[in-house]
Amino acid sequence: MTKSEVLKSISKELDLTIAETEQLYDSFVNGMNTLLSNNVGFTLPGVGSFSTELRDAHKSYNPHYEQMMLIPPKNVVHFSQSSTLKDEINRDSDE
Amino acid sequence: MNKKVTYSDIVNALSSKTGFSKQKSEAFVKALLNQVKDELRESGKASITNFGSFKVKEVAERQGKNPQTGDPIVIPAHKRVSFSPYKSLRENVNAKYGHLESELINEEEEGKQTDESTTDLTQDTQPNETTEPEYPEEEQADDVFAISTDPDAKEEASGDDEKSDDQIENEIEDDTPEQTEGDTNTGETEPEDDVESDEAEEDVEPEHAVTDSDASDGSERNYTNVLSIMAVLMLTVIAITTVWFLVDNGSGEKKQAVNGSQNNIQTGAVAQGSEVGQKVSLRTYESIKSEADELEKRIKALTQQAERLRAQQSEQSIRPAETEENPVSEKVSADEPSNQVSDTNEERSVNKRYEVQQGEWYWVISEKLYGKPRFWPLLFMENHSVNEDPDSLLKLTNISVPAMEGSADNPTSNDYKDLAAATKMVAEAYKKAGKSEKADEYEKFARMWEKMGA
How does DSSP assign B108-120, residue by residue? Answer: HHHHHHHHHHHHH
Instruction: Quote the minimal CA–CA distance from A60 to chain B in Å.
Output: 9
Residues of A in contact with B103 (CB under 8 A): 69-70, 72
Residue in chain A nearest B363 by alpha carbon: A64
Instruction: Quote the minimal CA–CA distance from B110 to chain A in Å.
Output: 9
**Secondary structure (DSSP) of B207-246:** HTHHHHHHT-S-HHHHHHHHHHHHHHHHHHHHHHHHHHHH
Burial, B121: exposed, middle or buried (Cβ in 10 Å; 0-12, 13-18, 19+)? exposed
Average pLDDT for B327-333: 41
How far is residue B75's CA from residue B78's CA, in Å, rounded to a whole number?
8
**What residue spans of chain A are helical by DSSP H?**
3-14, 18-37, 83-94
More confident residue, B237 or B406: B237
How far is residue B99's CA from residue B26's CA, in Å, rounded to a whole number?
38
Note the pLDDT of residue B284.
Answer: 61
Q: What are the beta bridge partners of residue B5?
A: A42
Choose among A45, A47, A77: nearest Cβ to B90: A77
How far is residue B45's CA from residue A14's CA, in Å, rounded to a whole number?
24
What is the CATH number assigned to the segment(s) B7-94? 4.10.520.10
Query: For residue B176, is pLDDT > 60?
Result: no
Which SS3 state, helix, strand or coil, does residue A57 take? coil
Instruction: Quote the minimal CA–CA distance from A74 to chain B in Å.
Output: 6
Please give the interface size between A and B, counted as residue pairs whose CB atoms are below 8 Å apart: 185
Choose among A39, A42, A68: nearest Cβ to B110: A68
How far is residue B326's CA from residue B130's CA, in Å, rounded to a whole number?
23
How far is residue A15's CA from residue B312's CA, in Å, rounded to a whole number?
95
How far is residue B341's CA from residue B407's CA, in Å, rounded to a whole number?
7
- Give me the interface pTM, i.e. the ipTM: 0.88
Range with the lowest mean pLDDT among B15-19, B173-177, B295-299? B173-177
Choose among B447, B441, B138: nearest CA to B266. B138
Q: Which DSSP helix (H) or strand (E) runs through A54?
A: strand A48-55
For the range B203-210, what are the long-range contacts, defined as Cβ-Cβ under 8 Å and sequence gap of 24 or more? B204/B229, B208/B144, B208/B145, B208/B148, B210/B148, B210/B149
Residues of B in contact with A39 (CB under 8 A): 2-3, 93
Which residues, at least 6 apart from B313, have a Cβ–Cβ distance to it below 8 Å? B254, B255, B258
Instruction: Quote the minimal CA–CA distance from B346 to chain A in Å.
Output: 26
How far is residue A38's CA from residue A56's CA, in Å, rounded to a whole number?
18
**pLDDT tens across A57-82, in order?**
888 888 887 788 888 899 999 999 99
**pLDDT tens across B426-447, in order?**
888 888 777 777 788 888 888 8
Query: For residue B197, is pLDDT > 60?
Result: no
Note the pLDDT of residue B82.
Answer: 92
Are the Cβ atoms of B52 and A77 closer than 8 angstroms? yes
B125 confidence band (pLDDT: 50, 70, 90)? very low
Choose among A50, A94, A14: nearest CA to B10. A50
Note the pLDDT of residue B442.
Answer: 82
Residues of A in contact with B27 (CB under 8 A): 14
Domain with CATH 4.10.520.10 in chain B: 7-94
**pLDDT tens across B133-159, in order?**
444 444 444 444 444 444 444 444 444
Are the Cβ atoms of A64 and B374 closer than 8 angstroms? yes
Q: Which DSSP helix (H) or strand (E) runs through B399?
A: strand B398-401
Q: Which DSSP helix (H) or strand (E) runs through B88?
A: helix B87-93
Q: Which residues in B10-100 belong to E strands, given as ranges?
A: 45-48, 52-59, 62-65, 72-75, 78-85
Handedness of CA B316, B322, B326, B330 (dihedral sign): negative
Q: What is the DSSP letter of B324?
A: S
Choose among A35, A36, A71: nearest Cβ to B102: A71
Q: What is the DSSP letter of B104?
A: -
How far is residue B83's CA from residue B47's CA, in Å, rounded to a whole number?
9
Residues of B in contact with A77 (CB under 8 A): 52, 83, 85, 89-90, 93
Note the pLDDT of residue B204.
Answer: 44
Choose among B233, B244, B237: nearest CA to B306. B244
Choose among A10, A74, A90: nearest Cβ to B28: A10
Choose among A25, A26, A31: nearest Cβ to B13: A31
Choose among B417, B400, B419, B405: nearest CA to B346. B405
Range with the lowest mean pLDDT among A10-14, A44-48, B8-12, B162-166? B162-166
Note the pLDDT of residue A78.
Answer: 92
